[in-house]
Amino acid sequence: MNFTDMLLDAERQNRSLLCVGLDPDPARFPHHMRNDPDRIYEFCAAIVDATADLAIAFKPQIAYFAAHRAEDQLERLMAHIRVAAPHVPVILDAKRGDIGSTAEQYAKEAFERYGADAVTLSPFMGFDSVQPYLRYPGKGVFLLCRTSNPGGDDFQNQRLADVPGQPKLYEHIARLAQGPWNVSGQVGLVVGATYPAEIARVRELAPTVPLLIPGVGAQGGDAQATVQAGWRGGAGGTTAAVAVNSSRAILYAGAGADFAQAARQEAERTRETLWRARLFD
């Protein structure tokens, strides 16, 4: 099963649009684990076990592991997810973007070392920096398009004078993902929940690619507005999945020994909010 099919299958099985972000910060761990980076795997595995039936995807952020020399724990975690939640795809949040020969190594890291089902990429260096990832059959890539941070306006919202119609940069990226760059059929886009109008515009330009939408929860994005802007359904179900990410609000919902149960409760609440938001006219 390729990545986009895995997303849709997880959506159906778990009745979910919720992507659970795995951004382990030992300084925010429960009291009995706090400030102990050797327990990153233990913490994240507990979150995975508590939310495996609630998620459309898991999204580990590689920097939170690498900063603590915990890449081996990330490898263990990826292997654990494949056993504990084999129907839930894993998106490695790495935001890579480099020349072709280096991109080949980053692709090998994501798909061979860690066994990710998809990876986030920066498209700034052009198609040849993305192409090595597309050579992996069935693997997905998410291109940064309209990100949730305020600084995204510095480039993404600027118009391209030399492109017909003078689209904004994020609009141009959306068109590329829907069209000539999507040679594998597994290209998606990252669009921030803090900009629902732009989500709607991206969905208009790229109606058949999956969207990864961070920014719900701690970043303040509105869950209902996000889904209504990006999700499309019908008699035959969705034609492209929407994975709405929440990280810190779920991971750090509790600070005691019952942290995993607290995370589950927050994930259930968010999942239900997102799922109900599909029912609009």
CATH number at residue 92: 3.20.20.70
Helix-then-strand count for the chain, H and E: 11, 8
User: Is 126 among the domain residues?
Assistant: yes
User: Is 281 among the domain residues?
Assistant: no
Quick check: 240 and 207 in contact, CB under 8 A?
A: yes
User: Is 34 among the domain residues?
Assistant: yes
Print the domain residue range for 185. Answer: 3-276
108 labelled catalytic: no
pTM of the model: 0.95
User: Is 151 among the domain residues?
Assistant: yes
User: Is 219 among the domain residues?
Assistant: yes
- The active-site residue, picked from 95, 108, 139, 168, is 95
User: Is 169 among the domain residues?
Assistant: yes
Q: What is the pLDDT along the chain (281 residues), one digit of tens a residue?
A: 999 999 999 999 999 999 999 999 999 999 999 999 999 999 999 999 999 999 999 999 999 999 999 999 999 999 999 999 999 999 999 999 999 999 999 999 999 999 999 999 999 999 999 999 999 999 999 999 999 888 988 898 899 989 899 999 999 999 999 999 999 999 999 999 888 999 999 999 999 999 999 977 655 668 888 898 898 764 344 478 999 999 999 999 999 999 999 999 999 999 999 999 987 54
User: Is 226 among the domain residues?
Assistant: yes
Strands 18-22 and 91-96: unpaired
The number of folded domains in the chain is 1
